[in-house]
Structure formats: C-alpha cells, structure tokens
Amino acid sequence: MELVCVEDFERQAYSKLEKNALDYYKSGAGEQFTLGLNREAFNRLRMRPRVLRNVTQVDPSCRILGQQLGWPLGIAPTAMQKMAHSDGEIGNARAAGKAGSIFILSTLSTTSLEDLAAGAPDTCKWFQLYIYKERSLTEKLVRGAERAGFKALVLTVDAPVFGHRRADVRNKFSLPPHLRLANFQGDQANGVVTMGGSGINEYVASQFDASITWQDISWLKKLTRLPIIAKGILTAEDAVLAREFGCDGIIVSNHGARQIDTVPASIEALPEVVKAVGNDLVVMLDGGIRQGNDIFKALAVGAKAVFIGRPAVYALAYNGQSGVEQMLSVLRKDLEITMALTGCQTLADIQPAMVAHESTYSKL
C-alpha cells in the first residue's frame, strides 16, 4: 500500500520499533493531555481560502536566518535516532538536505557533530544545546558545532529536568548497549542506563544544570557568534525576555508535550509570542505538525518556519533515509496543494485572515 500521509509512516514504524524505543519516541508527559492537544488545536482552526487567483506556479521557498531553504519545514532535534534505524541522524539529515530543509542535531545524538557534518555536508545544520553542570562540556559542544559548520545554536530552555514520562519509567528505559551518546566520552556517553527508573531522566538529573537562568544566554553569547535560538517558549513574557537577552530566534514549543502536561498546544501559544516579539525575532514552531494544512496555519498565525520531530523518526524507522525522503515529499506536496487551494503563490501571500478559530463560526 502506498504511504500517502504522515500517519501511514507512523503505523509502519509502530510495527518495526521495539517497545523500549517506541514508547520513548511516542510518549508524552503525565496523562498526555497536551500530547493530544498538539493535534486537536490545529483542527480547531478553520481555513479561509481565497479563490480565482493564478496559482499555476507555487513556490514555498523561504530564507531563515540568512539561509535559503526550499520550504519552511525543518527536522526538530530528537535524541538517540539510531534506536530507530542504523542510518540514524545522518540518514535524517541527508533527507532534510535533499528536501531543502534545516536539520537540528540533538545534544543527545547517537551521531557526533563531526560525523554528521561529514555525512551530510550539503544540509543546513543547526545544533540543539543543553547546558551541563560541567560547563566545559557545553563549551566543547559549542566549539565543535562552530568547527563543523553548523549555522545556529538551538538552546532548549524548557528542560532543567525532564518531565515525568510514565512509559519510560515502566520500561526502565535505557539506551541499547550497542549505542552511545556520540558527542561525549565516558559517563556522559554511556550513562543513559536505568538505575531503577527512566535512564534518560536519571542521566539528565545527574548531568544537566538546573540552575540556569536568562543570564546564561549572556554567557553563551560571549562564547560564540553563532545565532542563538531559544527553544521551548510558550508565553509572551518569556518571548520578551528572549529578545532582551539577545536571542536571534524563538521556537514556540512544548517539547513534544514531553515536559509538563496541560500546557497549551504550541499553535495555541504562538499568537501571543508573535504579538510580543514577532517583528524583532524569527519566531518558529514545533509540535503537532502532520500535514500541509498545519504548516499553512502556523505560517498564517505568524511563524516563519515549523519543525517536525516524531514524523521524521517514524519515517526513519520505516525505511531509513529513503523513508524520510518519502515522508518529506508527501508533506511538501500537501503544502503546495494547500497553497494552491487557498490562492497563495508564495509564502508572502499567506495572510492571518486566511485562518480563523472555530469559535468564529459557532455563533451561526
């Protein structure tokens, strides 16, 4: 059967991934209310298409932080991708490059910065950063990203500790013994092993610096000239602080609903962030993107680009790099159809008035 939507790739991945990895990738925090909300919130937005416009040619290309891209969708940082397929992060990044997308490498990757740079030289690459208690480790990561030609640092700001993901606790999650965190040595590389609960949460509690504040953005800016993007912003107040402390961009994100349950869906939080800082910073979004309509809606609300995490990992699990290429092709075609059917030749034609909340119509 031909795979024609993101959900098709997800179903294939469910049949291939072993339970430890599948539950790690798919689960959210707590009762997983926000996990469902990330999708449901998109369905509460109605499309308001314009008609009788020449859409013979549709061009979704864009420019983000100085990088020319084929379209406004990138691949979000997801840890330990070799649990999904041996192609791992390199396969995912190569697929992103062929699609004209950004690929964000996780700090907790099973492929090193250097190996990814060598394996996907033509892909626009950003590096997602956590701040470790041992600050020299973080500085080493930053220097490695600079040397390897990464174009931006994506600082995850919503994870002083990791959220309570019940499946990982039940499974006593550990990184399979044949894999390691490739950007590190010793305990930092091999420490995702259960001590009775979730091995990833135990690792984070022992290694990540929970004392970080906005002042650490200033520390990071002194360390590097790379653009800094704050990932994990859900409020106007924090968006304003990100601007004040010199961030170049924001990714509105609830960490795939994996940190604290009952926070808003990313698309619900997007309007207040855009209103607060949208003219000053590059505002982007991840969480819940599954079809072209979703990309369109996020752009109409004010995002300049969106990112997908789970769909890329599921496509990787299905058929490695080829699976991701196929999934991205499906998504891009869906976006192009959406643009044509709403009368948009380019991304500049996508306007806020083209999307309305369902409550607009419930009065009838």
Question: Considering the domain boundaries, does residue 342 fall inside one?
Answer: no
Question: Considering the domain boundaries, does residue 328 fall inside one?
Answer: no
Question: Considering the domain boundaries, does residue 16 fall inside one?
Answer: yes
**What integer pLDDT is reported at residue 5 of this predicted model?**
98
Residue 20: which domain range? Answer: 6-44+67-309
Assigned token pair, 68? 């020319």
Write the CB contacts of 155 (distance below 8 Å, at least 6 apart in sequence). Answer: 128, 129, 131, 217, 220, 228, 229, 230, 231
Enter the DSSP assignment of 258.
T
**What integer pLDDT is reported at residue 1 of this predicted model?**
80
Question: Considering the domain boundaries, does residue 139 fall inside one?
Answer: yes
User: Contact at 8 Å (CB) between 277 and 283?
Assistant: yes
User: Contact at 8 Å (CB) between 32 and 333?
Assistant: no
**What integer pLDDT is reported at residue 137 of this predicted model?**
96
- Residues written for the chain: 364
CB-neighbour burial class of residue 299 (10 A; exposed 0-12, middle 13-18, buried 19+)? buried
- Torsions phi, psi of 230, nearest 5? -90, 115
Question: Considering the domain boundaries, does residue 50 fall inside one?
Answer: no
Average pLDDT for the chain: 97
Task: Express each pLDDT in 2-61 by its tens digit.
Answer: 999 999 999 999 999 999 999 999 999 999 999 999 999 999 999 999 999 999 999 999
Instruction: Indicate the number of domains in the chain.
Output: 1
DSSP bridge pairs for 69: 62
Per-residue pLDDT of the chain (364 residues; tens, 9 = 90+): 899 999 999 999 999 999 999 999 999 999 999 999 999 999 999 999 999 999 999 999 999 999 999 999 999 999 999 999 999 999 999 999 999 999 999 999 999 999 999 999 999 999 999 999 999 999 999 999 999 999 999 999 999 999 999 999 999 999 999 999 999 999 899 999 999 999 999 999 999 999 999 999 999 999 999 999 999 999 999 999 999 999 999 999 999 999 999 999 999 999 999 999 999 999 999 999 999 999 999 999 999 999 999 999 999 999 999 999 999 999 999 999 999 999 999 999 999 999 999 999 976 5
Assigned token pair, 139? 């500085």
**CATH no. for residue 103?**
3.20.20.70
What gap in Å lies between CA 319 and CA 321, rounded to an integer? Answer: 7
Q: Which residue has the tokens 């200033």?
A: 218
Which residues are known to be catalytic?
255
Question: Considering the domain boundaries, does residue 315 fall inside one?
Answer: no
What gap in Å lies between CA 314 and CA 321, rounded to an integer? Answer: 11
Question: Considering the domain boundaries, does residue 360 fall inside one?
Answer: no
Look at the pTM and tell me if it is higher than 0.95: yes
Question: Considering the domain boundaries, does residue 54 fall inside one?
Answer: no
Per-position b or e across 158-182, b if 16+ CB within 10 A of its CB? bbbebbbbbbbeebebbbeeebbbb
